[in-house]
Amino acid sequence: MPHIPAYERDPRLTRLETDVLSRGEEDGHPFVVLADTILFPEGGGQPADLGAVGGVPVIDVRKVDGVIRHVLVGAEPALPTGRVTVVLDWARRFDHMQQHTAQHLLTAVAERRFGWRTTSFHLGEATCDIELDSRDVDTSRVTELEEAVAAEIHAARPVTMRRVGPEAYAALSVRSRGLPEGHTGDIRLVEIQGIDLNTCGGTHCASTSEIEALKLLGTEGMRGGTRLSWVAGGRFRRLHEVHHRRNARLREILGTSDDDLVTRVEAKLEQLKHAERAVRQLQEALADVSASALAASDGRVLVAHWPGRDLPFLQRAAKEVGRLAPDRVVFLTTAEGEGEDGAFVLAAGEVAGIDLAAAGRQVAELLGGRGGGSGLMFQGKASRLSRRAAAVEVLERLG
C-alpha cells in the first residue's frame, strides 16, 4: 500500500517528528526529502504550504517524480539532517483549505443549478478564480449563485476524504476533469455531503461552515467562457475591512456619506478635467509669449533654458519661434529638477540653412542623451545639461 503523507492523513496537524532521507539542490536552492511531511506540495490549483524543517524556513514544496522536495532557505552546510521537527504555517494552510473547499462548493453549485462547468481553478495570493465553460453569466445569475452557495455554507455540510480503487471509482458518479496521466492505484475523493464528489489531492475544511462566507467579485469573458473571481473565509473579512477603512478615509476627505461617495468623486473628476484644460491653455499661451520674446532677441542661435517645463511646452515654443524667425536656429532645454537630467528641443526656421539632423545628433551626444526628429525639429533626453554652452558653440559653428 502506498505511503499516505501526514498532510493527507490529518490536515490539521501542525508539527511532525520525522527523518531526513536525502538532500539536494534545485535551481540554486537546497532541498530535503523527508520520510513523512505535513507540508502540502503545490498541485491541483493549490499553492504549496510553507513552514520550517529543523528550524530552517521552507520556501517551496514540490513533488518531483513522485518525491516531495522541501526547498529551503540557506546554504548546503546548514541543511538539517537526521531526526527533525517539521512545523506548518497554519494560518496559510487554513486559508488555502477555506479557498479550496469554497471552490469545490462553488463549482458544484454552479454546475448543478446553471449547468456551468468549471474548466480551471486558480488560488491566488489575494483572490481566487474559476473559469466556467459558459458566456451566459449575467449579474442576476451571479447573485443567485452567491445566495445558493451561502445557503450551503450555512447548512454546515460535512466534507470528507477517502481513497477508492479503480473498480469502485468506475462505479461512482464523480465530478472530475480527469486523472493525471499515467495514474495507477487508489484514487482520492473529496465529498461535500449531498452536493459534490470530486477527485482531488488538496487539503480541505471539515465542514462547509468553516468556509465562513464567500463573496463573488466579478466576471470577465475569456476563451469562449467566463472567469469568475471570488474570496472566501478570512479573506472576505479582510477585504471588507480594507474597503471599510478606504471608505472611511474617502468620507473624511470628501466630506460626504458612503451613499454619495461616487457622485462626489465624479463631480471632483469633472472639476479636475476643467482645471487641467485651463492649465493646458495657460501653458500654451505662456509658450507662445515666451517664444515671441525669444524671437525678438538678437543672435543667429536663440537659446533658452526653462526649468520645470515639459517637452510639449518646449515643442510648442520652438515651433512658434520658427514661425516668427524663419532664418534662426532655436535651442531650448528644461531640467527635471536641480540635477543634470532633462530634455532638449532643437528647431530651425524654413530658411535657417542648417542640417538639423546632423546638428541634433551632435547636440544629443554632447548632452549625454539621445533623440530624433524629422523636418524642422529634433528633440531628445539629456543627462548632462551642464554642457549646454558647448552645444550652443557647435550650433553657432554649424549655422
Q: Please check the confidence at residue 76 and state whether its pLDDT lies above 80.
A: no
Distance CA 108, CA 221 (A): 20
Residue 200: other Cβ atoms inside 10 A: 21
Q: Give me the pLDDT at residue 178, please.
A: 65
Task: Note the pTM of the prediction, 2 decimals.
Answer: 0.76
- Summarize pLDDT for 62-73 with one digit per residue, the tens: 999 889 999 999
Q: How far is CA 245 from CA 125, 209, 241, 261, 326, in A?
A: 21, 27, 6, 14, 60
Q: Chain centroid to CA 111: how far?
A: 29
Distance CA 28, CA 179 (A): 32
Greatest Cα-to-Cα distance within the chain, rounded to the nearest angstrom:
98
Confidence grade of residue 337 (pLDDT, cut at 50, 70, 90) = confident
Q: Please check the confidence at residue 1 and state whether its pLDDT lies above 80.
A: no
∠ Cα 235 101 39 (to 5°): 85
Confidence grade of residue 81 (pLDDT, cut at 50, 70, 90) = confident
C-alpha cell at position 394? 557647435
Q: Give me the pLDDT at residue 136, please.
A: 85
Share of the chain above pLDDT 90, in %: 76
What is the pLDDT of the chain when averaged over all its residues?
92
What is the average pLDDT across 361-380?
A: 90
Count Cβ atoms within 10 A of the Cβ of residue 271 and give its class: 0-12 exposed, 13-18 middle, 19 or more buried.
exposed
Q: Give me the pLDDT at residue 399, please.
A: 61
